[in-house]
Amino acid sequence: MTEIELLSWARGPGLQIATIIFVAGVVIRILEILLLGRKANLAEAKGAEMSSGLRTMVTRTVPDRTTFKRSSVTIVSGYIFHIGLFVVCFFSAPHILFLKDIIGFGWPSLPTPVVDAFAVVTIIALLATLVNRLTNKVMRYLTDFEDLLTWFVTFLPVVTGYIAFHRIGFTGPSLLAIHILSVELLLIVFPFTKLMHAFTLFIARWYNGAISGYRGVAS
Amino acid sequence: MSASIEKGINALKRQVDSTVAAFFSSCVHCGLCAEACLFYTETGDPKRTPINKTEPLRRIWKSEFTLMGRMGKMLGLTKKVDDKFLEEWQELVYDSCTLCGRCSMVCPVGNDIALMIRKTREGLAAAGQAPEGLIGATNRSVTIGSPMGVKWPALRAQIKHVEADTGLKIPVDVEDVEYMLLLSSMEIMNFPEFIEAVAKIFDKAGATWTISSEAFEATNSGIQIGVSDIAAELVQRVVDVADKLRVKTVISPECGHAYMAIRWDGPNLVGKAFNFKVRHILEVMDELSQQGRLKIASKESQKLTYHDPCQISRRGGVIDEPRRLIDMIADDFVEMPDAGKMNWCCGAGGGVSANERADEIRLKVFDRKKAQLEAVRPDAIISACSNCRIHLEDGLEEHNMDIPLLSLTETIAEHLAED
Amino acid sequence: MKKDLSLKDVKLKNGDSKPETLGEILRSQKVSRRSFMKFCATTASMMALPPAMIPVIANALENARRPSVIWLSFQECTGCTESLTRAHSPTLESLIFESISLDYHHTLQAASGAAAEAAREAAMEENFGNYLLVVDGSIPLDNPGYSTIAGISNLDMLIESAKGAAAIIAVGTCATYGGIPHANPNPTGAVSVKDIIKDKPIINVPGCPPIPVVITGVLAHYLTFGSIPELDHIGRPKAFYGQSIHDRCYRRPFYDKGQFAETFDDEGAKKGWCLFKLGCRGPTTYNACATTKWNNGTSFPIESGHPCLGCSEPDFWDGGGFYKALSMPTDDISKTAVYAAAGAAAAGAAIGALNRGKKNTSNKIHIKTTIDDLRK
């Protein structure tokens, strides 16, 4: 297979397969959760469920002071790479074009050197999270194969994207193909792992806020 | 003698719902819940990480209710839930957790981990893996009516003392009154002054109330051991009596899990909304105060702080009421660090204090509360749960800290206006 | 440009002693020594050879016996020939080109029909083992009738001609990688030279068409060293195909700053901003366009405002729409996503029903737990 053939496959059939698995997987998992349902609460309510749920969906993003002090490395490195991923994924010009092709509209991009800087910071932060995961007592106890796999499939696109942009190593079509394939790997692995938290955390947070809010506590 | 692993697994299956599924789907193994749990922070043992305690429930959810889990089961790739595993987890689920819910407040993806640990107990209990102490307490609750074996005659004796001391009549089995007061065995046996305090407050407020001789116990062992069927049976006793007497409001006394059991779990356990309201004694006093029926004549001069009982504050929703009440009777009140909905558990609730095997760890985790107190250096601690009170007293004594524990209700009563 | 290119004809007609070496030819064309050396220097620098090589090149070219060149044109559009012969005034490149003994070329030769084929066969026999075979156009395998010359299929002619060739130069993307005919669905079963010939050295000079000076540079290399230049992993001379357009593009600073033309006539386009969003294949294309340029260094597509098509890469026709940026999917992903979601909704509903069923069963088989059930 030539490089261009590989690139064309990655941009064509490869992406189709990854899209099918990703979309179908995410939809099935979310339905699997929601359709289990939960019993109605028969106790007398002290607060409103819906608004409390929505509130927690947002406020849970901010950790409380004591927890932050005790877990600052986890929290800071985690936030940095999430924000970095967000900027790199959604504000680099080639990525916006990709999304525009799928959803029909785009938005202004950030200058490439800025995105570049975010990519570097993200890579460093991701490495920090891995080190943390392997050295922190609690995380080491909790960590299993899935944690390492998901780290890897998240790390790979950022690194290969950076390399493809900076042309280190192989030739252009190969680098771009490798990057796109790494994204497809991420998409395929996504619905089978904790990466689903990207969607389900909103459901979980809502439930948390609703359950507490029913009792009059803002969680 | 019919607990079995099959029953345990079935019990766990019944506990899986969309909340459980959403929570387990979202956990990213970040470990923040451990840093919020005093059973981890004071022991440094990572297996006490809250989400880890839910592993039995997680395995059942994964293998029974997810497509990939089912497929994994067919391929023989699932992690088993057997007697050996549940036995190993007993200490984590019962000895190392008070269901305080602090983990549920800090989880970044929003998991209500305490709720899941509560659900996990259903599985362990049905499989015969609940601690002996709790089984004993539950037996007594069901057969005698109180986890400590307190029967009506004992309570009646206490009531007689109170009537003698106060000159007030304690109404028993009176119909059509505003309030029916429940009492925890702990209060009846160790803090009967509570009954006295309530009597005085209601007298001055002109409120009609009663105690039932048939169902007076507030403590719900079923909640603590984690068997909803038994918890429901205990709640039903209160419901039957409250309906019979046609009371308007049932009062949960100064006991944490009792409040959770009757106020929030109660109707869901028995499957029907109540015909009466349920309020904590703090809520009642606060309401009376708003209505101008609670008048205070004097204040405490000593430096006071407030320990939030977890099931009342964070898990119960009664956070502001005690502070409004304290405001009325305190000249010098200072909040401890993390006060309010993020306050640290005393370490004894949720069945831990009924479990002798957990004595050592229960005392160890008191260090967390000790650190909070050392930051504040109060003259006395106010609280609203007798279980917290007993345990904090134990801990303070162990460390030679001379800080008295005060009941908020009793303190209010002490400063009532004579009018 | 001299149209009666075939000096072989001259030889046959006049019987005069013909110029035998390239040096003699150039002198006969009144090309000054100075111009000749300048050409050698340019060639050396283009192929990244040190200055010491210039006299070597000069000497080699000076004394180069005019090698016989057989040019076979298969399924092609003649664009490659047009490109190479597009000089308006004689250039040294065209002189080199003329100064090989081009014994067979459909467009440029004067002879036709049986005479042309006879000339070809004679040249092949006379120079067996030494002639250069140049091929442009792809070779159809599905049905030989798609492209024949004098009744001979392209496949047969290629195999036959390759036997006595010293080396083969595949010119144009069709000959190197299949080109346009090879594009999906490839109705003629078009393949490239390298797909058929496995036992001869092949130099791929792709491009649609290739840059003229690239061809002559390759020839000059061959004439100088008698060997083929260093090739990359798909057979292209590294001297000309070693850098991507993107890495040599003068508009690269705009790419880096994130300044892109959104349409062909917006402000960005007028200011000469990067054409990535308009589908430029520069990042994945290797050729000399950005440095050597076309028409004697006049311009190249990007400079003229059109994104690079990637024409020197294999399968460039199937690399997605030319006006779709490289980072865009080639297929309609949104449709796939919608269908996947719809299918998954049905599957999810079924799974949800199964889950509910399981819960109902566990609720049904549950017997109320009493205090007698707390111990095993």
Q: Is residue C6 part of a domain?
A: no
Distance of CA C29 to the CA centre of its chain: 32
pLDDT at B349: 93
The continuous run of DSSP H or E covering B407 comes out as: strand B405-407
Cβ-Cβ contacts under 8 Å, C371 against chain B: 135, 138-139, 142-143, 230
Please tell me whether residues C185 and C315 are part of one structural domain.
Answer: no
Q: How far is CA A76 from CA A70, A126, B32, B369, in A?
A: 12, 11, 12, 27
Confidence of residue C98 (pLDDT cuts 50, 70, 90): low
pLDDT at C14 over 70: no
- Nearest CA to CA, how far is A176 from chain C (Å)? 8
Tell me, yes or no, if B236 comes closer than 8 A to chain A by beta carbon: no
Last residue of a domain, one of C220, C241, C262: C241
- Indicate the number of domains in chain C: 2
Cβ-Cβ contacts under 8 Å, A219 against chain B: 104-105, 341
The alpha carbon dihedral of C253, C256, C262, C268 has a sign of negative
Please tell me whether residues C299 and C156 are part of one structural domain.
Answer: no
Q: Is residue C22 part of a domain?
A: no
Q: Is residue C255 part of a domain?
A: yes
Nearest to C325 among A97, A110, A113 (CB): A97
Please tell me whether residues C278 and C167 are part of one structural domain.
Answer: no
Please tell me whether residues C175 and C286 are part of one structural domain.
Answer: no
Q: Is residue C195 part of a domain?
A: yes
CATH number at residue C315: 4.10.480.10
Last residue of a domain, one of C198, C220, C241: C241
pLDDT at C8 over 70: no
Q: Is residue C8 part of a domain?
A: no
Confidence of residue C97 (pLDDT cuts 50, 70, 90): low
pLDDT digits (tens, 9 = 90+) for B96-140: 999 999 999 999 999 999 999 999 999 999 999 999 999 999 999
Q: Which chains share 3+ C-beta pairs under 8 angstroms with A? A: B, C
Q: pTM of the entire structure?
A: 0.87
Beta carbons of C131 and C168 less than 8 angstroms apart: no
CB pair distance less than 8 Å for B230 and C369: yes
pLDDT at C89: 43
pLDDT digits (tens, 9 = 90+) for A55-80: 999 999 999 999 999 999 999 999 99
Please tell me whether residues C83 and C217 are part of one structural domain.
Answer: yes
pLDDT digits (tens, 9 = 90+) for C111-144: 888 888 888 888 888 889 888 899 999 999 999 8
Summary mean pLDDT of chain B: 95
Q: Is residue C48 part of a domain?
A: no
- Nearest CA to CA, how far is C331 from chain B (Å)? 29
Please tell me whether residues C184 and C154 are part of one structural domain.
Answer: yes
pLDDT at C13: 38
Query: Reduced to 3 states, what is the DSSP secondary structure of residue B291?
Result: coil
Residue type, B5: I
- Nearest CA to CA, how far is A213 from chain B (Å)? 9
Nearest to A39 among B51, B268, B319 (CB): B268
pLDDT at C12 over 50: no
CB pair distance less than 8 Å for B104 and A219: yes
Cβ-Cβ contacts under 8 Å, B229 against chain C: 368-370
Q: Which chains share 3+ C-beta pairs under 8 angstroms with B? A: A, C
CB pair distance less than 8 Å for B106 and A43: no
Instruction: Tell me which residues of chain C, numbers 254 to 313, contact chain A at a CB-CB cutoff of 8 Å.
Output: 255-258, 260, 276-277, 283-286, 310, 313
Cβ-Cβ contacts under 8 Å, C350 against chain B: none
Residue type, C151: G
Angle (deg, nearest 10), helices B193-205 and B152-166 = 60
Residues of the domain holding C297: 245-375
Please tell me whether residues C70 and C181 are part of one structural domain.
Answer: yes
CB pair distance less than 8 Å for C315 and A5: yes
Looking at the DSSP assignment, which residues form a beta bridge with residue B280?
A: B252
Please tell me whether residues C189 and C289 are part of one structural domain.
Answer: no
Q: B65, B87, B143, B269: which to substitute to probe chain C, counting the most C Cβ within 10 Å?
A: B65
Confidence of residue A175 (pLDDT cuts 50, 70, 90): confident
pLDDT at B336: 96
Cβ-Cβ contacts under 8 Å, A68 against chain B: none
CA distance C366 to A206: 30
Please tell me whether residues C232 and C249 are part of one structural domain.
Answer: no
CATH number at residue C237: 3.40.50.700
Rounded to a whole number, what is the largest CA-CA distance in chain B?
A: 77
Q: Is residue C44 part of a domain?
A: no
Highest mean pLDDT of the ranges A100-114, C76-90, C344-358: C344-358
Please tell me whether residues C88 and C181 are part of one structural domain.
Answer: yes
CA distance B95 to B48: 10
**Structure-token pair, residue B223:** 């909640």
Last residue of a domain, one of C186, C218, C241: C241
Tell me, yes or no, if C364 comes closer than 8 A to chain B by beta carbon: no
pLDDT at B287: 96
Please tell me whether residues C89 and C173 are part of one structural domain.
Answer: yes
C241's CB contacts (< 8 A; 6+ apart) are: C206, C232, C286, C287, C288, C312
Average pLDDT over residues B169-187: 94
pLDDT digits (tens, 9 = 90+) for B74-89: 998 888 899 999 999 9
Closest-CA residue of chain A to B16: A36
pLDDT digits (tens, 9 = 90+) for B188-215: 988 889 999 999 999 999 999 999 999 9
Q: Is residue C47 part of a domain?
A: no
- Chain A to chain B Cβ contacts (< 8 Å): 178
Please tell me whether residues C223 and C265 are part of one structural domain.
Answer: no
Closest-CA residue of chain C to B133: C374
- Nearest CA to CA, how far is A75 from chain C (Å)? 32
Distance of CA C249 to the CA centre of its chain: 19
